[in-house]
C-alpha cells in the first residue's frame, strides 16, 4: 500500500542486512522499538534482554562500559561491572549518593581535584553527607579517623594527586578500610588502567573522567564508575544513575571507544615526554620545584614504583617569582597550549591557583603546595625536543 509521501519520509529506515562493521556502531537513538507489546513488557520486566530507552541503556554505551570494566579488571578472576556517566563529576556524585546514607561521611584528602572538593563541601554537604579531610599519606592518621568515627562509610582517594602528583599507597589504604567495613573509591583519571589498576590492589570502586586520557583527543565529556561488587553496581548505582539522569550520551561514549584503542601507545608517549621535560626542568635555574612521580627525588617515588606501571603524563613545576612570572612563562609558550583540561594529544598548561583550584580556600591551597608560581603540565604527544625547546624559550633558558 502506498504510505503517502509524508509517512514515507517519517518512517524508520530499514538497516540492510550486513556482516558486522569493523568499528563500533553509534546508536544515536533515544528509544528502542518493539513489534510486539509482549516483548516490550518482557524487556521492561527484565525477563528478556533488550533496550528500551537510552537513559537506561544503549548498545554503544554498554559496549564501551564492558571494555572499560575489562581494562580496569585486567588480571582479576572476576570481571567488574561498569556504568558510563555524563561526566567525571557525574560518576563521583552518583557513586557517593549510592554508597552514603544521610549522615554518612567520606574520608578523603584535601588535595583532590578542585571540583571534587567543591562537590563535597557545597553539594554533598547539603544532602547530609559530610567530608572529613585527613592526610592519607599517613596510614596511622587514616586508621585513627576510621576507628574514631563509624559514620565514615567511604574512603575516597586520588593518586597521583592534582596538581601536586603525590601518590597514596592504595594497597595499605584498602587493607585499613576493610578492617572498618569502609568502601574504597579511587579516581584513576590521571593514570588510566594502563598505568594503574586500583581494583587489583584491593580497592572497591574506580571512577574516571573519561574526558581526559581515555578519550584522549579532547572531543567530549564523560565518566565511568567501575566496581567489583557487580550486584551493587548494576542494582543500586544503576538506579541512582538512571533516576538522576546522569547518563552518558552515545556520541561521547563512541568517542571514548575510539580513544581507548590507542591508549597504550599514547600513554607511553605521554610518560616519556613527561619524564624528559621533568628532568630538563630540574636543571633550570628559574624553576624551584618539579613534581613528577617518575623522578628519584619525588617524595612518593617509592609508592609510584610499587603500584604504577608507568609514571604518567602529568607534572607540575614552580617558577621563581610567583604569579607574575608564571603568567609570563605561560604566555610565552607556543607548542604547549593553555587549556583547563588534561590528557589530550596536545601539551596543555594550566595555572591551578587561578583556575582549577580558584575556589579552594587559599590556606588549603597553599598547604598543598598550590602556590601562585605553580604551573601544571599535561604533556602531549609532540616531539620531545620541540617540547623542551618551547619551555626553554618561555623560561628564558633557551
Known catalytic residues are: 55, 113, 187, 212
By beta-carbon proximity to ligand PLP, the closer residue of 207 and 395 is 207
Residue number, 340 or 396, with CB nearest to ligand PLP? 340
Tell whether residue 390 is a contact of ligand PLP (CB under 6 A): no
**CB closest to ligand PLP, residue no:** 88
Please report whether residue 88 would count as binding ligand PLP according to CB under 6 A: yes
Closest contact distance (angstroms) between CB of 126 and ligand PLP is 19
Cα separation values, 114 from 89, 121, 379, Å: 11, 11, 20
Is 209 or 307 the residue whose CB approaches ligand PLP more closely?
209
Interaction between residue 109 and ligand PLP (CB under 6 A): no
Question: Which residue, 314 or 387, has its beta carbon nearer to ligand PLP?
Answer: 314
d(CA 378, CA 356): 14
Strands 348-350 and 374-378: antiparallel
Minimum distance from CB of 117 to ligand PLP (Å)? 11
Output DSSP code: residue 99: H
Residue with smaller CB distance to ligand PLP, 223 or 293: 223
Q: Report the site for ligand PLP in 110-139 (rule: CB under 6 A).
A: 113, 115
CA 295 – CA 272 distance, rounded (Å): 12
Contact range with ligand PLP by CB under 6 A, out of 15-23, 26-34, 85-93, 241-249 = 85-93
Contact 186, 302 (CB under 8 A): no
As a whole number of angstroms, the distance between CA 398 and CA 394 comes to 8
Residue 87 binds ligand PLP, judged by CB under 6 A: yes
Distance of CA 111 to the CA centre of its chain: 15
- Residues in the interface with ligand PLP (CB under 6 A) total 13
d(CA 377, CA 3): 60
What are the φ/ψ torsions at residue 29 (nearest 5 degrees)?
-140, 130
Options 81-89, 119-127, 138-146, 224-232: segment touching ligand PLP (CB under 6 A): 81-89
Q: CA-to-CA distance for 19 and 231, rounded, in angstroms?
A: 34
Interacting positions 180-219 with ligand PLP (CB under 6 A): 187, 189, 209, 211
| 67-91 residues labelled b (16+ CB within 10 A) or e (exposed) | bbbebbbeeeeeebbbbbbbbbbbb
**Nearer CB in complex with ligand PLP: 91/129:** 91
The nearer residue to ligand PLP, 158 or 372, going by C-beta atoms, is 158
Pick the closest to residue 293 from 132, 137, 173 (CA basis): 137
Give, rounded to a whole angstrom, the gap between the first and last alpha carbons of the chain: 77
User: Quick check: 348 binds ligand PLP (CB under 6 A)?
Assistant: no
Contact with ligand PLP (CB under 6 A) among 95, 97, 221, 237: 221
Using rule CB under 6 A, residue 227 touches ligand PLP? no
Q: Which is nearer to ligand PLP, 124 or 146 (CB)?
A: 124
CB of 352 to ligand PLP, least distance (A): 11
Burial string for 325-350 (b: 16+ CB within 10 Å, else e) reads bbbebbeebebbeeeebbbbbbbbbb
* Helices 170-179/139-148 angle, 10° precision: 20
Candidate ranges 84-92, 136-144, 239-247, 319-327; the one touching ligand PLP (CB under 6 A): 84-92
Q: Which of 69, 71, 89, 97 binds ligand PLP (CB under 6 A)?
A: 89
- Minimum Å distance from CB 369 to ligand PLP? 16
SS3 content of the chain, % helix, strand, coil (to 5): 40, 15, 45
What part of residues 143-162 is at the interface with ligand PLP (CB under 6 A)?
Answer: 158, 162
Q: Checking phi first, is residue 245 left (phi over 0); if not, alpha (psi -120 to 50) or beta?
A: left
Do the bridges between strand 183-187 and strand 223-227 make them parallel or antiparallel, or are there none, so unpaired?
Answer: unpaired
By the rule CB under 6 A, 60 interacts with ligand PLP: no
Residues that bind ligand PLP (CB under 6 A): 87-89, 113, 115, 158, 162, 187, 189, 209, 211, 221, 223
Amino acid at each position: 500500500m502506498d504510505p503517502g509521501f509524508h509517512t514515507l519520509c517519517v518512517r524508520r529506515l530499514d538497516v540492510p542486512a550486513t556482516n558486522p562493521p569493523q568499528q563500533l556502531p553509534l546508536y544515536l537513538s533515544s528509544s528502542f522499538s518493539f513489534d510486539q507489546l509482549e516483548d516490550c513488557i518482557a524487556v521492561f520486566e527484565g525477563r528478556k534482554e533488550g533496550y528500551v530507552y537510552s537513559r537506561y541503556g544503549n548498545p554503544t554505551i554498554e559496549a564501551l562500559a564492558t571494555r572499560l570494566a575489562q581494562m580496569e579488571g585486567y588480571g582479576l578472576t572476576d570481571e567488574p561491572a561498569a556504568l558510563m556517566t555524563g561526566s567525571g563529576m557525574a560518576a563521583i556524585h552518583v557513586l557517593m549518593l549510592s554508597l552514603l546514607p544521610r549522615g554518612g561521611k567520606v574520608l578523603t584528602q584535601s588535595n583532590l581535584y578542585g571540583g571534587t572538593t567543591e562537590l563535597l563541601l557545597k553539594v554533598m554537604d547539603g544532602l547530609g553527607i559530610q567530608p572529613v579531610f585527613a592526610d592519607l599519606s599517613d596510614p596511622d592518621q587514616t586508621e585513627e579517623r576510621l576507628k574514631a568515627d563509624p559514620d565514615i562509610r567511604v574512603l575516597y582517594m586520588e593518586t597521583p594527586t592534582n596538581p601536586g602528583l603525590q601518590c597514596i599507597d592504595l594497597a595499605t589504604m584498602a587493607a585499613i578500610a576493610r578492617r572498618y567495613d569502609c568502601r574504597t573509591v579511587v579516581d584513576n583519571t590521571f593514570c588510566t588502567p594502563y598505568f594503574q589498576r586500583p581494583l587489583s590492589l584491593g580497592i572497591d570502586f574506580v571512577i574516571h573522567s573519561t574526558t581526559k586520557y581515555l578519550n584522549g583527543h579532547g572531543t567530549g565529556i564523560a565518566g565511568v564508575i567501575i566496581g567489583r561488587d557487580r550486584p551493587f553496581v548494576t542494582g543500586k548505582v544503576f538506579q541512582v544513575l538512571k533516576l538522576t539522569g546522569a547518563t552518558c550520551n552515545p556520541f561521547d561514549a563512541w568517542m571514548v571507544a575510539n580513544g581507548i584503542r590507542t591508549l597504550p601507545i599514547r600513554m607511553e608517549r605521554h610518560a616519556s615526554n613527561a619524564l624528559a621535560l621533568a628532568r630538563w626542568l630540574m636543571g633550570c635555574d628559574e624553576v624551584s620545584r618539579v613534581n613528577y612521580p617518575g623522578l628519584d627525588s619525588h617524595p612518593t617515588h617509592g609508592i609510584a614504583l610499587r603500584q604504577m606501571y608507568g609514571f604518567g603524563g602529568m607534572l607540575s613545576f614552580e617558577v621563581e617569582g610567583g604569579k607574575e612570572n608564571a603568567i609570563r612563562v605561560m604566555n610565552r609558550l607556543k607548542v604547549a597550549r593553555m587549556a583547563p583540561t588534561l590528557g589530550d594529544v596536545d601539551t596543555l598548561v594550566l595555572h591551578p591557583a587561578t583556575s582549577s583550584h580558584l575556589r579552594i580556600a587559599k590556606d588549603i591551597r597553599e598547604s598543598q603546595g598550590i602556590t601562585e608560581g605553580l604551573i601544571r603540565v599535561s604533556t602531549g604527544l609532540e616531539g620531545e625536543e620541540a617540547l623542551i625547546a618551547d619551555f626553554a624559550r618561555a623560561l628564558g633558558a633557551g
